[in-house]
Chains A and B, each alone.
Chain A
Amino acid sequence: MEMDLSLDRQSREILATIKNFARKHSLWVVAYGTGCGAIEVPPTMTSRYDAERFGIRGAATPRQADVLLITGYLAVKTLKRVIRTYEQMQDPKYVIGFGSCTINGGMYWDSYNTIKLLDMYLPVDVFINGCMPRPEAVISGFIKLQQLIKEGKAEGAKKYKENLEWYRANQKKIIKNWRMPEYNW
């Protein structure tokens, strides 16, 4: 992004449009299933619903991926791993909250060990409602994300960097024994 500063406003906009167009059509999802919702991902990716026609495909490691799908409930123990995964991902990166558990706790609203609001710990770009969302809903969530990227509004990663202290405070509130590396993106 430093390169952009030397350009005038119009060129920056054109460049951003091209970048966003490219980003929008290659969303690589890190292969990390956190809850029961992960069972909806294989049908979404395979031949019947074929998410690859939208440029959505799996990526083996967080460093290759653009999208972190939080598929369902998050135990405190899993949240730790999810934060590490998210912080290892390279820009541009987006988070999709999947299912009611990430929105308000869902059926685990009174659990001693699962978080209720995902957006207090990670910047969520798109929420997909449902318990569980069907592959159609998953794809519609991805299309919503593509629209946001196209409009340049999917700025979760930027928000995370700017409000890192607030997110860290929330994360440290429930992860008592904080032994995590600091990544310097």
Chain B
Amino acid sequence: MELVKEQELADKIKRTFPNASVKVQRQKRVIVELPNDLVHPFLSYSKETLGFQHLSHISCVDWLEEKQFELVFIILNYETMITVIAKTRIDREKPEFPTLLGFWPQVETYEREIREMYGVNFIGNDDTRDLILEDWDNIPPMRRDFDTVKYSRETFFAREGREDAKDVRETISEHSGEEIPDLAKIYSVRNS
């Protein structure tokens, strides 16, 4: 499959934003990595000039080892149906980013969700109400240093008798005489 349209778009972006690293990932998908201060100009340029009118999603990735958060903006062009994924890295210690409310009003929900789940503060988006969680007083749950198993064990009751998390396949096969298939044997406790 030839990637003519994608390559054209990538060249155009590269010419306009020399600091960005542009990569054609596959058909109809272009990945752009940007410094922080170029995100707003890039999204504005994409929306007004390149025709990327649709914001599909804003997401966040926790790069714990590198002490960074990566914000991912996914935009779509309805005419060419090409998706552009714009990524930028922000500091994990002081996670702040200017809001995109001026471009798309619907980003409010995404930004509130990221604030709740990762603790990234979007400057200019002043809605601090809870979105999904209620009365959450721990560190944001989608951060990688939040230990969800430990929290779950401390907070909720567990059914007695399943503390060892034993694989029940063996018990079942002992009772019924049924063979465990080879593909399931790798999960078996006794074989490991």
A binds B: yes
Interface assignment of B93: CB less than 8 Å from any CB of chain A: no
Interface assignment of B149: CB less than 8 Å from any CB of chain A: yes
Total interface residues on A, CB under 8 Å, equals 22
Considering only residues 129-153 of chain B, those with a C-beta below 8 Å from chain A are: 132-135, 137, 141, 146, 148-149, 151-152
Q: How far apart are the CA atoms of A116 and B157 in the complex, in Å?
A: 6
Q: How far apart are the CA atoms of A176 and B149 in the complex, in Å?
A: 20
Asked whether, in the complex, the Cβ of B159 is within 8 Å of the Cβ of A77, the reply is no
Interface assignment of B162: CB less than 8 Å from any CB of chain A: yes
Q: How far apart are the CA atoms of A113 and B137 in the complex, in Å?
A: 12
A77-B133 contact, Cβ under 8 Å, with A109-B152, A116-B156, A117-B158: yes
Interface assignment of B155: CB less than 8 Å from any CB of chain A: yes
23 sampled A-B residue pairs with Cβ under 8 A? A76-B134, A77-B132, A77-B133, A77-B134, A80-B134, A103-B159, A104-B159, A105-B156, A105-B158, A109-B152, A110-B149, A110-B152, A111-B148, A112-B151, A112-B155, A115-B156, A117-B156, A117-B157, A173-B155, A174-B155, A174-B156, A176-B135, A177-B135
Q: How far apart are the CA atoms of A77 and B130 in the complex, in Å?
A: 11
Known: A116-B156, A116-B159, A174-B155; 12 extra A-B contacts, CB below 8 A, are A76-B134, A77-B132, A77-B133, A103-B159, A104-B158, A104-B159, A109-B152, A109-B158, A112-B152, A115-B157, A116-B152, A176-B135
Which residues of chain A come closer than 8 Å to B137, judged between CB atoms? 176
* Chain A interface helix/strand/loop/mixed: loop
Interface assignment of A22: CB less than 8 Å from any CB of chain B: no
Asked whether, in the complex, the Cβ of B162 is within 8 Å of the Cβ of A113, the reply is no
Considering only residues 151-172 of chain B, those with a C-beta below 8 Å from chain A are: 151-152, 155-159, 162
When each residue 92-135 of chain B gets 1 if its CB lies under 8 Å from chain A and 0 otherwise, what string results?
A: 00000000000000000000000000000000000000001111
Point out which of A105, A112, A176 has the most chain B C-beta atoms below 10 A from its C-beta: A112
Which residues of chain A come closer than 8 Å to B133, judged between CB atoms? 77, 113
Asked whether, in the complex, the Cβ of B141 is within 8 Å of the Cβ of A112, the reply is yes
Residue of B nearest to A115 (CB): B156
Q: Which 6 A-B pairs have the closest CB atoms?
A: A104-B159, A177-B135, A110-B149, A112-B148, A117-B157, A77-B134
Q: How far apart are the CA atoms of A113 and B141 in the complex, in Å?
A: 9
Residue of A nearest to B149 (CB): A110
Which residues of chain B come closer than 8 Å to A7, judged between CB atoms? none
Asked whether, in the complex, the Cβ of B158 is within 8 Å of the Cβ of A110, the reply is no
Residue of A nearest to B134 (CB): A77
Interface assignment of A39: CB less than 8 Å from any CB of chain B: no
Q: How far apart are the CA atoms of A115 and B151 in the complex, in Å?
A: 12
Q: How far apart are the CA atoms of A112 and B155 in the complex, in Å?
A: 8
Q: How far apart are the CA atoms of A178 and B141 in the complex, in Å?
A: 22
Interface assignment of A143: CB less than 8 Å from any CB of chain B: no
When each residue 14-25 of chain A gets 1 if its CB lies under 8 Å from chain B and 0 otherwise, what string results?
A: 000000000000
Residue of B nearest to A174 (CB): B155
Interface assignment of A60: CB less than 8 Å from any CB of chain B: no
Residue of A nearest to B146 (CB): A112
Asked whether, in the complex, the Cβ of B157 is within 8 Å of the Cβ of A120, the reply is yes
Which residues of chain B come closer than 8 Å to A104, judged between CB atoms? 158-159, 162
Which residues of chain B come closer than 8 Å to A177, judged between CB atoms? 134-135
Q: How far apart are the CA atoms of A29 and B15 in the complex, in Å?
A: 63
